[in-house]
Amino acid sequence: NKTTTEIQSQPDTWARAIAESSSNAAFFGLPGERVLFLGCGTSAFVAESLASLRERAGLGETDAAYASEWEPGRRYDRIVAITRSGTTTEILDALTAAGPEVARSAITAVADMPVSDLVDQNLVLDYADEESVVQTRFPTTLLAAARAVYGYDQGDLERSGRATLAAPLGVDVARFSHYVYLGSGWTYGLAQEAALKIREAAQAWSESYPSLDYRHGPIAVAGSRSLVTIFGPVDPSLVADVEATGATVRTDSLDPLIQLAQAQRIAVALAEHEGLDPDTPRGLTRSVVL
């Protein structure tokens, strides 16, 4: 399927994004600017991760919002619209409502789309566009580009990504009926995106929470058919509490972007196990145009 091809191509698209990042810095907010990232669906979760990464890097006050929920009010120097398709109605409506005085960037996978007319500058990651409805490499490639701009240490992302994606997945999806993804800081957006992949590609039950909030209620439904994956740093007492429910806990020391790619593989494996086509999920289209 196309989704798998796109998942497997990620080390290449990450490497290209990092190589080109110095010329793209302005799209992600100049140092000191007050920035708002907007998106829908996958792109809303990317927006959340970008806001956390940028603010924690000390580059300026940064917010993220679902485009559908945002209302003009707080003042920003720049609004950055994240949208693979460049056609999503809520994004176009938010940019139209934003007023003329704020600078605007769009980051898309396709050039000359409706969003392009509403912004000053459009970064087009065309090499990360996708044929699958389900987004995989566009969000991770955008994140790799942003991390480079924000000075995040990318380590050996490309090599480690290649090795991990070439190795067997190591998860028997027949054992699990409930998938939980936990994250903290910028990886909370990744956890939400991972859980969305399970729902979109495999129509299965998944949830996501800030890591330490999981014990504040949601852990009550964890059990022997739950797979709980923790992105980023792991709190041993949280692992012990989750394991006490009978759930399987998955942690590793991989770069969180590679952990997300592994979650994408789990979603595809689960779809195949259920006899579903991950490329064209029921009820989903490439973008929502109202």
Where on the chain is the footprint of ligand F1P (CB under 6 A)? 40-43, 83-85, 88, 91, 133, 135, 200, 284, 286-288
Which DSSP state fits 192? H
Q: What share of the chain is helix, strand, coil (3-state, %, to 5)?
A: 45, 15, 40
H/E stretch holding 181:
strand 178-183
What residue type is assigned to position 263 of the chain?
A
Q: How far is the CB of 110 from ligand F1P (least distance, A)?
A: 9
Residue closest to ligand F1P (Cβ)? 41
* Residue closer to ligand F1P (CB basis): 53 or 196: 196
Q: How far is the CB of 87 from ligand F1P (least distance, A)?
A: 7
* Residue closer to ligand F1P (CB basis): 128 or 219: 128
Q: How far is the CB of 172 from ligand F1P (least distance, A)?
A: 27
Question: C-alpha distances in angstroms, 118 versus 95, 114, 179, 256?
Answer: 7, 7, 38, 33
* Residue closer to ligand F1P (CB basis): 41 or 183: 41
34's CB contacts (< 8 A; 6+ apart) are 60, 61, 62, 75, 76, 77, 78
Q: In the structure encoding, which two tokens stand for residue 55, read together?
A: 């603010």
CA distance 177 to 199: 12
* Residue closer to ligand F1P (CB basis): 174 or 290: 290
* Residue closer to ligand F1P (CB basis): 88 or 208: 88
Q: How far is the CB of 211 from ligand F1P (least distance, A)?
A: 23
Q: In the structure encoding, which two tokens stand for residue 80, read together?
A: 């950055």
Q: How far is the CB of 83 from ligand F1P (least distance, A)?
A: 3
